[in-house]
Amino acid sequence: MEFSKDIAYLVSSERYKLRTAKALYRIKTIGIADVILLNKDRTLDECRSEGVEIWYRAQGEEVGDRPFVSEGSPQLHLNFCRSAASHIVALRDIAKKESSLAYMICEDDILFHVDYSEMIVDYCRHVPDDCDILWVGYSDPLFTQPQEVNDYVLKGDFWCVHCYMITPAGARKALNLLPVDGQIDWWLAKLTMQGLLTGYAFNYWNTALAKSEICAYSPRGLAYQELLPRA
């Protein structure tokens, strides 16, 4: 797999200026020339217009057999919808490209492996040609056991969207399957589990970071989530 070093996408909020600035700096330091900033401060109606189905329910409410229904507070639900809408905006832009390159989408809690710039090239050489979406950082598959493709790559329905790459062909496939009916990472994992997207992840465990207190989730892959307070 080859990836674009010209453009990447960052999902953030204008409310978190310092967090956004840190993320922009980190993305630039790994050799990305330009970063398109996607402000996720939207209303629910604006999220719906982008292709997000409003799925919130109060705890205990019956929802039938619909998957990926979120329980929690209305504010938490709004945050999930805003994030999903911003990722859809990025997918729409990527889908317009006539390219076989993959394009990176990040969120503002992104951390990269200290040797990311060197490792990413080597790891991407081992990604199969049929890849639609590549989780650069991830959590374990939601539904199935991961399959080891080689020493560098796993196949499965991974989740977490703090850093992933997607091809224009993969973006077009995803957009044809709107609306998003849950958290964006769960929705992408569902499409992968159903065979509608072909997804891979890097077969790497950052032992050093696992022992630290700066990572929000298990440090799998080459990019991680910084442990940050949530408003």
**What is the per-residue pLDDT for 64?**
45
CA distance 116 to 48: 36
Q: Is-contact 119 136, C-beta < 8 A?
A: no
Q: What is the DSSP-derived secondary structure letter of residue 70?
A: P
Q: What element of type H or E holds 4?
A: strand 3-12
List phi, psi (to 5°) of 87: -65, -35
Work out whether the CA dihedral 208, 189, 127, 3 comes out positive or negative: negative
Amino acid letter for position 177:
L
**Omega before 179 cis (within 30°)?**
yes
Partner residues linked to 215 by β-bridges? 226
pLDDT at 144: 87
- Identify residue 224 by its one-letter amino acid code: Y
Q: What is the pLDDT of residue 142?
A: 80
Q: What is the pLDDT of residue 230?
A: 55
Alpha carbons 175 and 178: distance in angstroms, whole number:
5
| pLDDT at res. 56 | 56
Cα 20 to Cα 89: distance, rounded to the nearest angstrom: 18
| Predicted pLDDT at 121 | 93
Q: Please give the pLDDT value at position 215.
A: 87
Q: Which amino acid is at 29?
A: T
139: alpha, beta or left, given left = phi > 0 and alpha = psi -120 to 50?
Answer: beta
CA-based torsion, 115, 216, 35, 5: positive or negative: positive
pLDDT in tens, the chain (231 residues): 999 999 999 999 988 899 999 999 999 999 999 999 999 999 888 988 999 986 655 444 444 444 444 455 566 678 888 999 999 999 999 999 999 999 999 999 999 999 999 999 999 999 999 999 999 999 888 888 999 999 999 999 999 999 999 999 999 999 999 999 888 998 999 999 999 999 999 999 998 888 888 888 889 999 999 987 654
Residues contacting 50, CB < 8 A, separation 6+: 42, 84, 85, 88, 89
- pLDDT of res. 132: 98
Q: Using CA of residue 58, residue 231, residue 13, residue 158, what is the dihedral sign?
A: negative
Instruction: Identify any residues that bridge with 139 across adjacent strands, giving them in sequence order.
Output: 159
Rounded (10°) CA dihedral 184, 187, 188, 191:
-160
User: What residue ranges define each of the domains in the chain, with the CATH number in brackets?
Assistant: 3-225 (3.90.550)
Pure H helices in 96-183: 116-124, 168-175
